[in-house]
Amino acid sequence: MTGCAGLPARPEIDAGASDFSSRRARAHFAALAELRSRPAEIDAAARARAYVERELRWVGAEIQGREGEGARSILAWLSGSSADRLLVVAPWSPEGEGGGPDDAGVATLLELARALSRRPLPYTVGFAAPMVPPSSGLGSREGVRAWGATLVGLLKAQAGLDAIRAVIIVEPRAQAPGQIARDLRSHPVFRDLFWRIAARLGHEATFAQEAGWSTPEGVQGAFLSAGYGRVLSLVDDRTDVRSAEGAPALPDPDAFQPVGTVAYEGLLQLMARFVRVDAFSP
């Protein structure tokens, strides 16, 4: 079933859920995969971009992306009580060496936007994703970081980085079970908060406390190079997760639950912390 302009219909599953829905994120993943499987003469990247923008507008987000240095970004904002901002970033994960993009991060981002839109937000929350063809080089860690540099430039041209209180990078993989890297360069307070939330919610397998430290290359490097360190990377940096066909398989219905629910609860708790801090600020 398709919607307007040849796009898949808006997912109906869990449309009124008050919290993050893994099944709805999976429906977004399936819709994006269907767009990418269409004949070559159809501009799959443009269709995917239109789908993502439609879903963000549906939850009330204002689209503010633009062309920039060969990589088009979608950047959308849900208005909150404060103009101070938090930003959720979902790059395309490379499937493996030479692989194309994995839409699991973008699917998670869309469901986070819907779930957050159902709550009163004390701060404005942004959602950023790259919308470029798979042949653009984003099938590599270097390509992901290059897009990150473009995103940083776009943010600087708008309200600037100082207005952003935290950046949360959400980069799961379609295949389960996953494991989020313990990124050594992530903000330690943010990292501790999200890992404690994961333990409380029973997602220790995905957010393993005993896992070794790592420094996955990607969007975070672009923010660090710009002198911005309030970043948490939730990146599954496995390199052996491609399906036999060389493309992400449709995940299990609960595959998005660990990263999605931890990111959702973490964002809510971060905002609550910032509210308490701001209450004592002059």
Which carries the bigger pLDDT value, residue 65 or residue 181?
A: 181
- The answer to whether 10 touches 54, Cβ cutoff 8 Å, is yes
Structurally, how many domains does the chain consist of? 1
Task: Tell how far CA 142 is from the center of its chain.
Answer: 18
Residues with Cβ within 8 Å of 259's Cβ and at least 6 positions away in sequence, in order, are: 108, 170, 172, 178, 180, 206, 234, 236
Q: Which residue range forms the structural domain that includes residue 122?
A: 4-279
**Could you report the per-residue pLDDT of 214-242, keeping only the tens digit for each?**
877 788 999 999 999 999 999 987 654 55
The first and second tokens of residue 21, run together, are: 């829905």
- The answer to whether 65 touches 45, Cβ cutoff 8 Å, is no
What CATH number is given to the structural domain containing 199? 3.40.630.10
- The answer to whether 68 touches 150, Cβ cutoff 8 Å, is yes
Rounded to two decimals, what is the model's pTM? Answer: 0.90
Tell me what percent of the residues of the chain surpass a pLDDT of 90.
51
- The answer to whether 129 touches 52, Cβ cutoff 8 Å, is yes
pLDDT score, position 24: 96
